[in-house]
């Protein structure tokens, strides 16, 4: 598996885990500090996962197989 694919998959996992931790805790005024921290961490992990996915996509686009140019230096010597 290429590195770009692993980075994209990691980003998807981060977004899904962030969404799960954010939406699994109900929002209320009497929320304990530990649960509130988990909910905020879920938001942070989800947003970082989006960044990781974008980085993986950009790496994939940059590192695609590009056609190699063959330059001939014989014409310059004549």
Task: Give domain status of residue 40, yes or no.
Answer: yes
Q: What is the mean pLDDT of each run of 10 residues along the chain (78 residues)?
A: 87 95 87 90 95 94 78 62
Angle (CA) 11 13 16, round 5°: 110
Domain hosting 37: range is 3-64
Residue 37, CA distances (Å) to 3, 5, 43, 55 in order? 32, 31, 10, 27
What value does the CA radius of gyration of the chain take, rounded to a whole number of Å?
A: 23
Q: How many distinct structural domains can be found in the chain?
A: 1
Q: What is the pTM of this model?
A: 0.74
In a domain, 22, yes or no: yes
């Amino acid at each position: 598996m290429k590195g770009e694919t692993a980075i994209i998959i990691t980003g998807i996992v981060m977004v899904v885990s962030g969404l799960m931790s954010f939406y699994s805790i109900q929002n209320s005024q009497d929320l304990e500090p530990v649960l509130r921290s988990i909910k905020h961490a879920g938001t942070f992990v989800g947003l970082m996962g989006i960044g990781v996915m974008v980085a993986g996509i950009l790496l994939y686009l940059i590192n695609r197989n590009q056609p190699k140019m063959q330059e001939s230096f014989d014409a310059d010597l004549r």
